[in-house]
Amino acid sequence: MKNIYGVTITELEQYFIDKGQGKFKATQVFEWLYKKRVSSFTEMSNVGKSNIAMLQEDFSLESLEILAKKVDTDVSKYLFGLKDGNKIEAVLMNHDYGNSLCISTQVGCNMGCRFCESGRLKKVRNLEASEMTRQILMVEEDLKIHISHIVLMGIGEPFDNYEEVIKFIDIVNTPKGMDLGSRHITVSTSGIVPKIREFALYPKQVNLAISLHAPNNEIRSSLMNINKAYPIEEVMDAVSFYIEKTNRRVTFEYILLKGINDSREHARELSQLLRGINCYVNLIPYNETSHIEYRKSNQKTILDFYDELKKNKISVTIRREFGSKVQAACGQLRSNYEEESL
């Protein structure tokens, strides 16, 4: 039985047409699900009893289970249990521009980035669009808030689950549904070049972020296995294609690791790589974890790196630090939960 939270409005319209019903029923159902947030089909008072029976037979409203929750100033981290016993995470961050939720797209990850806790668990499976949508709905319900921004940067590589990610975006972007603006959605990739090029042709104005984390192939290959398949030159070519097709600015994410990629020379090299590209760099202080040997750069080093980029006319921000007290590194809460359950 298909989870209805993974069905696009176009698919639902076709469902009702195939059943000999008016496709406007899909809009009614979407409004009940995403505007009025009902928990059962029987609450959909204007859909009709025969249609409710039909929906109950063909679709589920299955939810996720909140296994753990940790809260700190302006951040809440959730560990969700899935129907098959697997676990994923989501992190809610309160910014001055709104509430941003970082969601997972896979159970585990095959990218093997050495600084990333979630990569310690190899990919078990892709998440369904419904399991991504449900992360938003459950956090909003739990905290009684409206989430204004979504970042696909939790556990997993979104472009390794491309079809379900695109379906998820279509669902949450639907005006009669959650109505989350496409410019408030960011997809982060470690650099799967063919999918960057495919995403450049996607009609919605969704933001693209590239997890770069190094200014050259030698360092990047030592940190990220994917660089051996798609080296920096190929990633940058794909980014140029994306910008040409979309006329949109790209974000480059750069985690600063002590003694690895954080010197002024690295900043100068990064400036040279990005010169002339419509982009900005998001410098990310590292969230240390007991399972990985990398350490966070000190504040002076971070500021020196920032200053060097600014001096070279690269747009740059330093991401505000969230959640060291809530195990906010990707996969960290899940990993610790598993250990405590042994």
Q: Please choose, from the candidates 75, 70, 57, the residue with its C-alpha nearest in 3D space to the C-alpha of residue 15.
A: 57
Helix (H) or strand (E) holding 179: none
For 96, the 3-state DSSP assignment is: coil
How far the first Cα of the chain sits from its last, in Å, is: 33
Looking up tokens 């037979």 gives: 57
Active-site hit among 13, 89, 128, 131: 89
Looking up tokens 């002024």 gives: 264
Active-site hit among 31, 102, 330, 339: 330
Q: Please choose, from the candidates 281, 287, 271, the residue with its C-alpha nearest in 3D space to the C-alpha of residue 318.
A: 281
Cα angle value 121/122/123 (rounded, 5°): 115
Give the strand pairing for 59-60 and 65-72: unpaired
Residue type, 244: E
Is 89 part of the annotated catalytic residue set?
Answer: yes
CA distances from 182 to 100, 102, 186, 338 (A): 14, 15, 8, 35
What b/e string do you get for 98-127 counting C-beta neighbours within 10 Å, with b at 16 or more? ebbbbbbbbbbbebebebbbbbbbebeebb
- Residues β-bridged to residue 71: 76
Residue type, 45: S
Distance of CA 123 to the CA centre of its chain: 16
Catalytic residue set: 89, 330
